[in-house]
Amino acid sequence: MQNKKKLVVLTGAGMSVESGLSTFRGAGGMWGQHRVEDVATIDAWYRDKQKVLDFYNIRRKELLGVKPNIGHMVLAELEKDFDVKIITQNVDNLHEQAGSTHVLHLHGELMKVRSCGPGAEVYDLSSENYETRLGDTCPKGYQLRPHIVWFGEAVPEMNTAIDIVEKADIFLIIGTSLQVYPAASLLHYVPAKVPVYLIDPNEVSTKSRQVYVINKGAGEGMLELKEKLMKYL
């Protein structure tokens, strides 16, 4: 069991599209009706906390109405044969719902909130009680905000992600345009001899190294890749 190869997976919004979640850059997605500057920056928070809270309440409601797709399920199943570590840019919890046990969220988690106080304590939300309102405070009296890394904020888990990537035996990218930094820079930390696979129905620029591309969505792509991964066992 200790000799399982380390399969490190970077997932983006395209991973969750087949579950019915709108993508950040996709046409007609929820972000299409909201400027990033109005709902996903610290300035937006200080300008109109209610608007930001309402936006994330709607996104949580959307999340509660969907389920993991085949791509999520196959990734979870691969833990039987590989030491799977998922690094996700997604704020949904669909990897966890599918059964994946090692998931690092780079950009925060939709079903959590945190205190605006100096301790920045994090609290879980439930499916029955998922809305956050102005006046909802932590035990110390500080307003609760979405546990999301907004544009312009530091990514606190980035160094942890780099450590994981540097130890990869196989590296897999699913459903990310590799345009959101610093997450996109993780590819540069993959050891030179490690094979890199990419699953995305769209063309993705990887420039610096050889990448095995599967031009399919997350579900179909993962089923195809699962067969290819068997040669590493």
Between strands 170-174 and 6-11, the pairing is parallel
Architecture category of domain 29-65+109-148 in CATH: 2-Layer Sandwich (3.30)
**Helices first, then strands: H and E counts in the chain:** 8, 9
Q: Which of 66, 69, 73, 54 is nearest to 18 (CA)?
A: 69
The predicted-structure confidence for 11-61, as pLDDT tens digits, reads as follows 998 899 889 877 655 544 445 567 777 888 999 999 999 999 999 999 999
> Based on the number of CB atoms within 10 Å of its own CB, is 224 exposed (0-12), middle (13-18) or buried (19 or more)?
middle
pLDDT band at 180 (very low <50, low <70, confident <90, very high): low
Do 1-21+68-107+155-233 and 29-65+109-148 come out as alike in CATH topology? Answer: no
Average pLDDT of the segment spanning 142-164: 95
Which H/E stretch holds residue 198?
strand 196-199
H-run or E-run covering 124:
strand 122-124
Give CATH for domain 1-21+68-107+155-233.
3.40.50.1220
Candidates 95, 105, 107, 147; catalytic one: 107
pLDDT for position 102: 98
Q: How many CB atoms lie within 10 A of CB 213?
A: 15
pLDDT at position 29:
43
The structure's pTM equals 0.92
Q: How far is CA 161 from CA 29, 88, 199, in A?
A: 28, 10, 20
Half-sphere exposure of 224 (CA within 13 A, CB side): 16
Q: Three-state DSSP class for 164?
A: helix
| pLDDT, tens only, 73-125 | 999 999 999 999 999 999 999 999 999 999 999 999 999 999 999 999 999 99
> Is 147 one of the catalytic residues?
no
* CA–CA distances in Å: residue 191 to residues 6, 32, 162, 168, 231: 12, 37, 11, 7, 20
CA distances from 140 to 126, 136, 143 (A): 21, 11, 9
Average pLDDT over residues 64-80: 96
Q: Domain residue spans in the chain?
A: 1-21+68-107+155-233, 29-65+109-148
